Amino acid sequence: MRLSISPRGLSLIQKFEGCRLKAYQDSIGLWTIGYGHTSGVSEGQTITQTQADAFLKADCANAENAVSRYDDRYHWNQNQFDALVSFTFNCGSRNLQTLLNNGQRTVSEISAKIPAYNKAGGKVLKGLVRRRAAEKELFDAPAGNEGCP
């Protein structure tokens, strides 16, 4: 059965992305709107909360698909899946590939590498340090603790 992001995983993304209904430039200059949505965003653009929620759902679906490609190899539990969807939502599928070394890393090696993805524009950002720590904590949480906030 294919996993999809849980409310806990979605909450993690929303917490770190925040929601802005008017386009802004992120820390590396990308035009962004809603919950970290960047595709087709332009200066001065505004959206409704409903549109922000729809962008989030679509962006999560893309991240879910990327993480699911590796499920045959890893058989993710819900916590691992949610953590990697958050990671992929923020860092992209190419960085997921690198993190997993195209499926060659062990789960413990993946866990150890998550915190390294804490830079934007070559600079360590405190927000990314906190986000990676939260994703690692969720990734490492034992299966069966999926419902705990």
Q: Which residues are catalytic?
A: 17
Cα distances from 89 to residues 20, 44, 85, 108, 144, in angstroms, run 16, 23, 6, 21, 24
Cα 23 to Cα 6, 58, 60, 117, distances in angstroms? 27, 18, 19, 25
Instruction: Return the structure tokens found at 113.
Output: 């590498």
| Residue 18, phi-psi category: left (phi > 0), alpha (psi -120 to 50), beta (remainder) | left
- Strand runs (DSSP E) across the chain, as ranges? 20-25, 31-34, 119-120, 123-124
Closest by Cα among 4, 17, 28, 55 to 134: 17
